[in-house]
Structure 1
Amino acid sequence: MEASLEEYRSEIREWLETNTPPDWRDHLQTSSEEQVVDFYRAWTRELHEAGHLVPHWPKRWGGQDLGFLGQVVKEQEFSRADAPRPRPLAISLGHAAATLMEHGSPEQQQLIDAILDGAIFCQGFSEPEAGSDLASLRTRAVRRDDGTYVVNGQKTWSSFARYAQWCLLLARTDPDAPKHKGITFFLLDMTTPGITVRPIRQATGSAEFCELFFDDVVVPEPMRIGAEGDGWKIAQTTLLTERAVQMLEQTENLRRSLGELVGQSRRLRGPDGTPLGDDPGFRREAADIGIDIEALAALTERALASAAATGQIGPDSSVLKVFFSELLQRFTRLATEAHGMDQMGGTGEPREVGFLSGHWFVDHLRSWTWTISAGTNEIQRNIIAERVLGLPREGRS
């Protein structure tokens, strides 16, 4: 395997050096949102045709059987080349694919081919009053005599939903069951009548997130994943994938961005007019962040090695989520302060090129989504205390 990984590293490095779109960041910053999505979908297809989209997947699903170590190599080389990751397809390639591979029927698994061709999935999980406490969701799916389900309710914070072809939907099918037991998982075709998508404009000026409204939306029975009432258990595949596997990409992005900031510090000036790179305070904080990036990388690789051995990612993924989100905030704050007031002008029309785009003030604003999404850090600390450290559960009123 080691020889194969090194061969793959050479292969993908050479390919990215030749094929990474030049000045892609500048190009996307001046493109419409529709053009940005089209760019990423085309890039997804190009990566797949070259064998570099999902090298860690099994061959039967279009990968190269390189496992999580192959994904580590891929992310390292993408960072080295500063190549674009297909952000609008993050849900598709991570959450949707993992769920379909693990729990989908043979018919449902045919959608994996659509993912490799650029199909965008969104998530219908969080609700206005069911975010961190996701099991409190109220969206209802009522089964009719013909076997179809009728869905009514609302979802929020659904990334790229207005461009999605499919939605991973959690809905309550048994209102009388305990809240974790009455939830069912569905695949929802976003062209189905009765779905309304409303973008949510953020402080950065972008509208990546959306609200979803369901008014008597009919879902065929074959679009239910698993059995009724198994939705919470199935959703853990999706959520744990989000918190662990994606850390590979984010860790490499942090490494690259810290190197970029250190390079910029040689020309930036501190309050006294001396080079910022000579300032002891800046150097100390940058070094601390660099050490924590390497710690995050080690924790991520350990979690994924455990997943490869056991077949599942445990609650340690909550540690990764808290560690990364707060590290991202520290880094983007340092970068914003390093550039001074010039960095705090208008955000313009920022495009979704990643959480570390190089516009440090926008990146700092966007970093706060990480401490809220996929379960707030407060909720994650409860999980760590109870399920990782084995501390007694806090009293519930």
Structure 2
Amino acid sequence: MDAAAEQYRAEIRTWLTERSPQGWRETVQAKDEAGVVEYYRDWTRRLHGAGHLVPHWPIEFGGRGLGVAGQVVQQQELSFADAPRPRPMAISLGHAAATLMEHGDAEQKKLVAAILDGEIFCQGFSEPGAGSDLAALRCRAERDGDRYIVSGQKTWSSFARYASWCLLLARTDVDAPKHRGISFFLVDMRSPGITVRPIKQATGSAEFCEIFFDDVEVPASMRIGAEGEGWRIAQTTLTNERALQLIEITSALRSSYDRLVATTAAPAVGGTALLDDPALRQRFAEVGLTMEVLKALSEQSLTRVARFDDIGPLSSVLKISLSKALQDFTRLASETEGVAGLTDPGEPREVGYVSGRHFTDHVRSWTWTIAAGTNEIQRNIIAERVLGLPREPRA
């Protein structure tokens, strides 16, 4: 870690010690869903006002120019302080910002400032028949003069009900090979013809949504890049952001594990601690070993990101390892609470994958076998690109 990043670490650690909201999880749980989103928006503005929201961004876009090292420090310190993460802003701060900065024109880049003020972007990529095989998407965007007419459906779009803009992949050429007929658009979610429907999850929350586009007019000026470049733009801007998202969750998971160790090591009634049980200590050791593997994979990934190298199949290894570690940890944490941990928390609010409500977290953890590319697809990537095994038969 360079000197500038370490100097920044001392600054954000001091600020979080003085300003991090106490009891924020209880505050969030007491709000309705719209209130939760607004709470995170306010926290986003507070972080930005103090210079701690996007330390890695270039200075000209409102960051501090600290690069990947600055982002890693921010993620680590938020985890150590157990401070809230602005989760509804994840697509805005990650995928949307990266896409606009790298591929947007001068007018499109102006939307970056709105992100810093709490503007929410959603992602219109996956479809009911094109999730893991994203290039098979069928949503159409037909050119009509200086506009496009968009028709189709998207699914698993996080926080789409509260989004102002959608990053949309749509097919503009049905005759081109499927990867080459896709274009990238910015769609105003207030446009006529857009319908958003929440999808209720097993946890009771409704973070994900379906989006229906019924002859929605999108100005041609809102196309990012040239026609047919959508797949390339999506891949080049999102690969490293996906890796950094995985690393962020890894950091939060490790901090949660350390807190659980401290809790279970403390003497309870009768002067004994849960960790006095040899079998339970063995379970903690196994999960702790997984954390060390994740740490090594994260550091290797960060080294490559810092050098602007292609992460490649390493992100697949990290993703599979993280999803398993998340499941193992939340299962173990649930068991330490006993029957009391299985009680219905009522209307759960979205506070992350390690919210402290361990059984709810365990149910939610299974979504990570699907998110960011299913584990089955990731294993195919490792098998074919790393191990050199034959490709699966294609239909």
2:198 partner letter: P
Write out per-residue CA displacement over residues 173-192 of structure 1, whole angstroms, 9 at most, x where no aligned residue: 11111111111110011000
Partner of 2:26: 26
Deviation at 1:46, TM superposition (A): 1.2
C-alpha contact 1:161 1:197 (8 A) present in aligned 2:
yes
Deviation at 1:274, TM superposition (A): 7.0
Q: 1:237 to 1:279 in 2, by over 3 A?
A: farther
Unaligned runs of at least 5 residues, structure 1: none
Partner of 1:131: 131
- Out of 280, 284, 287, which is 2:285 matched to? 287
- Out of 329, 332, 348, which is 2:330 matched to? 332
CA distance in structure 2 between the aligned counterparts of 1:40 and 1:228, rounded to whole angstroms: 35
Between 1:379-388 and 1:303-312, the stretch displaced more is: 303-312
Partner of 2:120: 120
List structure 1 segments (4+ residues) > 4 angstroms apart after TM superposition.
none
Partner of 2:341: 343
C-alpha contact 1:200 1:208 (8 A) present in aligned 2:
yes
Deviation at 1:315, TM superposition (A): 3.0
CA distance in structure 2 between the aligned counterparts of 1:303 and 1:389, rounded to whole angstroms: 19
| 1:103 and 2:91 correspond | no
Between 1:170-179 and 1:284-293, the stretch displaced more is: 284-293
C-alpha contact 1:268 1:275 (8 A) present in aligned 2:
yes
Between 1:351-360 and 1:291-300, the stretch displaced more is: 291-300
| 1:310 and 2:308 correspond | yes
Counterpart secondary structure, 2:151: strand
Deviation at 1:266, TM superposition (A): 3.7
Deviation at 1:268, TM superposition (A): 8.9
Q: TM-score, normalised by structure 1?
A: 0.95
C-alpha contact 1:96 1:238 (8 A) present in aligned 2:
no
Partner of 2:189: 190
Partner of 2:73: 73
Deviation at 1:364, TM superposition (A): 0.6
Deviation at 1:27, TM superposition (A): 0.5
Deviation at 1:242, TM superposition (A): 4.4
1:54 partner letter: V
Deviation at 1:390, TM superposition (A): 3.3
Between 1:213-222 and 1:289-298, the stretch displaced more is: 289-298
CA distance in structure 1 between the aligned counterparts of 2:198 and 2:386, rounded to whole angstroms: 37
CA distance in structure 2 between the aligned counterparts of 1:268 and 1:173, rounded to whole angstroms: 64
Partner of 1:170: 169
Counterpart secondary structure, 1:157: coil
2:117 partner letter: D
Q: TM-score, normalised by structure 2?
A: 0.95
CA distance in structure 1 between the aligned counterparts of 2:285 and 2:339, rounded to whole angstroms: 24
CA distance in structure 2 between the aligned counterparts of 1:342 and 1:184, rounded to whole angstroms: 50
1:282 partner letter: L
Identity %: 65
Deviation at 1:9, TM superposition (A): 0.9
Unaligned runs of at least 5 residues, structure 2: none
Partner of 1:356: 354
Partner of 1:375: 373
The 5 A counterparts of 1:185-334 are 185-266=184-265, 275-310=273-308, 312-334=310-332
Partner of 1:17: 17
CA distance in structure 2 between the aligned counterparts of 1:240 and 1:268, rounded to whole angstroms: 45
The 5 A counterparts of 1:377-392 are 377-392=375-390
Between 1:337-346 and 1:132-141, the stretch displaced more is: 337-346
Deviation at 1:279, TM superposition (A): 2.0
CA distance in structure 2 between the aligned counterparts of 1:315 and 1:184, rounded to whole angstroms: 25
Deviation at 1:248, TM superposition (A): 2.7
Write out per-residue CA displacement over residues 262-304 of structure 1, whole angstroms, 9 at most, x where no aligned residue: 23324699xxx97431222221221222222222122122212
Write out per-residue CA displacement over residues 191-239 of structure 1, whole angstroms, 9 at most, x where no aligned residue: 0000000011111111000000000001101110111111111111354
Write out per-residue CA displacement over residues 127-186 of structure 1, whole angstroms, 9 at most, x where no aligned residue: 111111111111111111x13110111111100000001000011111111111111110
Deviation at 1:385, TM superposition (A): 1.7
Deviation at 1:306, TM superposition (A): 1.1
Task: Supply the RMSD in Å over aligned alpha carbons.
Answer: 1.8
CA distance in structure 1 between the aligned counterparts of 2:240 and 2:213, rounded to whole angstroms: 26
Write out per-residue CA displacement over residues 75-100 of structure 1, whole angstroms, 9 at most, x where no aligned residue: 11111111111000000001111111
Between 1:252-261 and 1:376-385, the stretch displaced more is: 252-261
Counterpart secondary structure, 1:44: helix
1:202 partner letter: Q
Counterpart secondary structure, 1:237: helix
Between 1:244-253 and 1:165-174, the stretch displaced more is: 244-253
CA distance in structure 2 between the aligned counterparts of 1:129 and 1:118, rounded to whole angstroms: 32
Write out per-residue CA displacement over residues 39-86 of structure 1, whole angstroms, 9 at most, x where no aligned residue: 111111111111111111111221112111111211111111111110
Partner of 1:94: 94
1:222 partner letter: S
1:390 partner letter: G
CA distance in structure 2 between the aligned counterparts of 1:38 and 1:352, rounded to whole angstroms: 12
1:79 partner letter: S
CA distance in structure 1 between the aligned counterparts of 2:328 and 2:238, rounded to whole angstroms: 24
Deviation at 1:391, TM superposition (A): 2.9
C-alpha contact 1:94 1:241 (8 A) present in aligned 2:
no
